[in-house]
Every structure is written in structure tokens, then in C-alpha cells.
Structure 1
């Protein structure tokens, strides 16, 4: 059975935020800022979305995380990896975010 995650969206652009809220809710994901299972963070959120995630990690937040970025360089890729997050490159293509959410919320269980 596929588990649907609760997601917190940390996205600066209001139109992108609205589009993500709409598309993810149609796919059955719950958008909620309280106790999310997954953080979806845009690299530009708060000026530096990775810094926001790094600060959350330093405060003990261990929620699964996805970072979206345009043309990420090696330094950004290393920071994402250091935060134990998944990187999705923009522009977003098709259902890449929902497929990634399903994959990280439903890891394969090995007997």
C-alpha cells in the first residue's frame, strides 16, 4: 500500500506555491505546516533555502527533505547531500515531485 505524506512547502514564489499546493493535493498529498513528514524547499526560499534547511537540521528537524534548484552547482549539490535531502532540478518536468515523494515516503522494505 502506498503511504501519502504530509508535506510542508517552503516556496517563495506565490504562483509556484499555489500550483504546487493544487497539483499535490489533487494527487492525494496533504499540505500542512504542522509536523510534516516531508519538507519541499525551493533553493530561493528565505534568500537561501538550503540555509533554512541547515538551520532546521541544526535544531533537530529530521523530516525527509526535497530541495528544488535551477542549475545547481557542485557546492549546492554537496550542501543538499549534507542535509540528507533529495535534489530535484528545475524546471520541473511532469510528475517528478510526486514520484519522488512516493519513493521517499515508501522506501522498499527488504526482508
Structure 2
């Protein structure tokens, strides 16, 4: 039996992380906390990164992950993103999903990115 695709989530709010973990598990994904010390995102099927992370930002983290060899497709989450932020996320090759998360937009986006990555 195949392992479910592993989604690495970078979210500072523990309750949001738990909610994402629960919701994505119901959709057949395995979820890993990207902030965990033993986390190695290089094998991730997809990354979900909150744009506002404590002392840094999601784009900076994505650049660091890319520099460390992680090529998984990425989704950045943001509330009310500016046009400049939208352009920066697009330039980084990531997908923007605005919060609040509604319906199944996130899971549809994850499935699409995973399929595109497999086809590439």
C-alpha cells in the first residue's frame, strides 16, 4: 500500500496547525510540522507556509528551503495580501491562497500542485 503524500506545514499558530493536520488527514494526506527539529522537507509532496512567521516571513523561509535542496511545490497563506506580495509569491514560483481558508480550495490546490509536479 502506498504512503499518503506528505505535506509539510509551516505555521506558528499551534491551533491552526492542528486544524490543518486534521483537515488534510481527512483528505488522505500525511502532515508534518515543518518547525519540528527532525523535519526534512526535501521529501515533501507539497509545502504550506504561513506568510507571517514569528521572526521572519514565508518567502524568506521558502528561499531558505530552496537553497537547502527542497524543490516541493509551495503554497503561501496570507490574509489581505498586497499586490507587491502577490507578485513576489508568483516570482518565487509559489501559489498564493488567501485566508480565511474556504471550502476545499486548499486541498484542490495541493492535489493540482502534486499532479503538476509528478508530470514535470
> Is TM > 0.5 for Structure 1 vs Structure 2?
yes
Give the TM-score of the pair, scaled to structure 2.
Answer: 0.79
- From 88, 110, 113, the equivalent of 1:101 is 110
Structure 1 stretches of at least 4 aligned residues deviating more than 6 Å after TM superposition = none
- Structure-2 separation of matches of 1:67 and 1:87: 5
Give the TM-score of the pair, scaled to structure 1.
Answer: 0.85
SS of 1:106 mapped into structure 2: helix
Once the two structures are superposed, the pairs formed by residues 65-76 of structure 1 within 5 Å of their partners are 65-76=74-85
- Structure-1 separation of matches of 2:88 and 2:64: 12
Higher relative contact order (CA 8 A, sep 6+): 1
Count of aligned pairs between the two proteins: 107
Extract unaligned runs of 5+ from structure 1. none
- From 28, 37, 44, the equivalent of 2:52 is 44
SS of 1:9 mapped into structure 2: strand
Q: What root-mean-square deviation, in Å, do the aligned CA atoms of Structure 1 and Structure 2 show?
A: 2.0
Extract unaligned runs of 5+ from structure 2. 33-38
Q: Are the aligned partners of 1:70 and 1:90 in contact in 2 as well (CA < 8 Å)?
A: yes
- Paired position in structure 2 for 1:6: 6
- Structure-2 separation of matches of 1:91 and 1:79: 20
Q: Are the aligned partners of 1:6 and 1:37 in contact in 2 as well (CA < 8 Å)?
A: yes
